[in-house]
Amino acid sequence: MKYDFDQVIDRSANRAAKYDERIKKFGTNDVIPLWVADMDFKTAQPIIDALKSKAEEGIWGYTSRPDSYFDAICSWQQRRNGWQIDKSLVSWSLGVVPALSAIVKVFTNPDDKVMIQTPVYSEFYDVTEAWGRVVVENQLVEQGGRWTIDFADFERKAKEVKVFLLCSPHNPLGIVWTKEQLKKMADICIANNVLLVSDEIHSDLIFHGKKHIPTATVSKEIAGKVISCISGTKTFNLAGLQASTTVFPDLETKERFDRFWTNMDIHRNNAFSSVAMEAAFNEGEEWLEQLLIYLDGNFEYVRSFCEKRIPQIKVNVPDATYLMWLDCRGLNMDNETLRTFMIEKAGLGLNEGYTFGRSLSGYMRLNAACPRSILEQAMKQLKEAVDANT
């Protein structure tokens, strides 16, 4: 089946946080929402069909998780990433962020330190600080437009932290970490008794011939130490269904995590999420392959538009995710001025760069997962605003 990603879908009655929460986030509805990480595309037809059929059942009582659900997850990982997951070490959770939060709570104590690589998905700060733990930043360093790891700093800080939250692939920089980088980070964590947690939610959204390597596949020793968080919600645009998978290094670690959720009486999927995930992992590949080509076209559109027409803004084309990191330092604005400029002058609802790395100034994140015509309008508005400002 051929999917039409150019189709503009009216989400005004879709209860879409991306649209409905614009007033809360930006103070106005009058912005093109290119912020929170979901897509303005319909998902794969087999998922829609499976959910329709579930809806037709008319009974959505307490819902079990059949083996076929876990089989679908494991066979997807095996097929696409060569990762053979031991099913006995797999647990379910409401989402990757709830899983990360539970991990921080269960495996650390108040005032313990948690390392993150900034700029990074801002909830990494939140899940740490919410429990009274302390964020330690291993800041990624930019060299000629490419970002990389300061390993000397990483090694120094690994000596003082209990947990390292790795974002692989990386949001917002779209980096696909190499096997060597993963091994080096994991080895340092193991040597310093740091619990390694690998958030791989974006691992199906990979471009430019890169290959995602699940951290747990780097070596047997690392598999015995890492907690991996995976999900189909980013891949297939199912975030509102709230489900994710956590893979543990051993049974004892898994049981401690499971006990946390059982104590909260949260131990079942909602009736629709496992059905959607199963259909996605078993039958979603055709849609995904077409999506990746479309997204890559979107990246190229934004990159070349800015290069030719808004040279003050330098665009990072991601190798993973659908999120583009915009270096707006050429506009010479402080963070607050840049935020106001994007909302009030350009009419764009973007994420502020400083929420991903608190010491950063002059960056924004743009979600490119929308029909090209929306991006065209967004770029036009941005150019006009920049021109009017100079």
Ligand X SMILES: Cc1ncc(COP(=O)(O)O)c(C=O)c1O
- The CB-of-369 to ligand X minimum distance in angstroms stands at 11
* Comparison of 358 and 380: residue with beta carbon closer to ligand X: 358
Find the part of the chain contacting ligand X (CB under 6 A) among 84-92, 95-103, 210-218, 303-311.
95-103
Least distance to ligand X, CB of residue 119, Å:
12
Determine the 3-state secondary structure of 160 from DSSP: coil
121 binds ligand X (CB under 6 A): yes
Smallest distance from ligand X to CB 386, Å: 27
Q: Which of 122, 198, 203, 233 binds ligand X (CB under 6 A)?
A: 233
Does residue 95 touch ligand X according to CB under 6 A? yes
Whether the CB-CB separation of 278 and 69 falls below 8 Å is answered with: yes
Please state the length of the chain.
390
Among 89, 201, 205, 275, binds ligand X (CB under 6 A): 201
**Between 285-309 and 372-389, two packed helices, what is the crossing angle to 10 degrees?**
20
CB of 167 to ligand X, least distance (A): 5
231 contributes a contact to ligand X by CB under 6 A:
yes
Residue 132: CB minimum distance to ligand X, A: 21
* Site map 254..283 versus ligand X, x via CB under 6 A: ------------------------------
Q: Is 104 left (phi over 0), alpha (psi -120 to 50) or beta?
A: alpha
Eight-state DSSP code of residue 363: E
Q: Is 104 in the site for ligand X (CB under 6 A)?
A: no
Q: Provide the minimum distance between the beta carbon of 205 and ligand X in the complex, in angstroms, as a whole number.
A: 10
From candidates 37, 44, 176, 186, binder to ligand X by CB under 6 A: 37
Q: Which one among 31, 44, 97, 247 touches ligand X, defined by CB under 6 A?
A: 97
Q: Is 96 in the site for ligand X (CB under 6 A)?
A: yes
Determine if 114 is a binding residue for ligand X (CB under 6 A). no
Using the rule CB under 6 A, give the single segment among 19-27, 93-101, 105-113, 174-182 that binds ligand X.
93-101
Distances (CA, A) of 86 to 248, 277, 333: 9, 19, 51
**Alpha helices, DSSP H only, in the chain?**
17-20, 22-26, 45-57, 67-81, 96-107, 123-129, 151-158, 179-191, 220-223, 251-263, 273-283, 285-309, 335-340, 372-389
Residue nearest to ligand X (CB): 95
End-to-end CA, the chain: 47
**Cα atoms found within 13 Å of the Cα of residue 344, Cβ hemisphere only:** 8
Candidates 8-16, 89-97, 155-163, 337-345 — which segment interacts with ligand X by CB under 6 A?
A: 89-97
Residues of span 306-325 touching ligand X by CB under 6 A: none
Smallest gap from residue 215 Cβ to ligand X (A): 14
- Regarding 244 and contact with ligand X (CB under 6 A), the answer is yes
Q: Between residues 103 and 386, which has the closer beta carbon with respect to ligand X?
A: 103
Helix then strand then coil, in percent of the chain rounded to 5, is: 45, 15, 40
Distances (CA, A) of 325 to 170, 233, 302, 321, 354: 11, 21, 11, 11, 12
For 244, the enclosing helix (H) or strand (E) is strand 244-247
Q: What number of chain residues touch ligand X (CB under 6 A)?
A: 13
Could you say whether residue 167 binds ligand X (CB under 6 A)? yes
Exposed, middle or buried by CB within 10 Å (0-12, 13-18, 19+), for 230? buried
In whole angstroms, what separates CA 98 from the centre of its chain? 13
Instruction: Tell the smallest beta-carbon distance from residue 101 to ligand X (Å).
Output: 9
Site for ligand X in 322-351 (CB under 6 A): none
Give yes or no for residue 199 binding ligand X (CB under 6 A): yes
CA distance 172 to 169: 9
Residue 123 or 344: the one with the smaller Cβ distance to ligand X is: 123
Which residues, 6 or more positions from 107, have their beta carbon under 8 angstroms from its beta carbon? 162, 163, 195, 253, 256
Q: Any idea which residue has 């015995």 for tokens?
A: 224
CB of 381 to ligand X, least distance (A): 24
CA dist 163 and 253 (Å) reads: 14
The whole-angstrom separation of Cα 349 and Cα 57 is: 39
Q: Which residues bind ligand X (CB under 6 A)?
A: 37, 95-97, 121, 167, 171, 199, 201, 231, 233, 239, 244
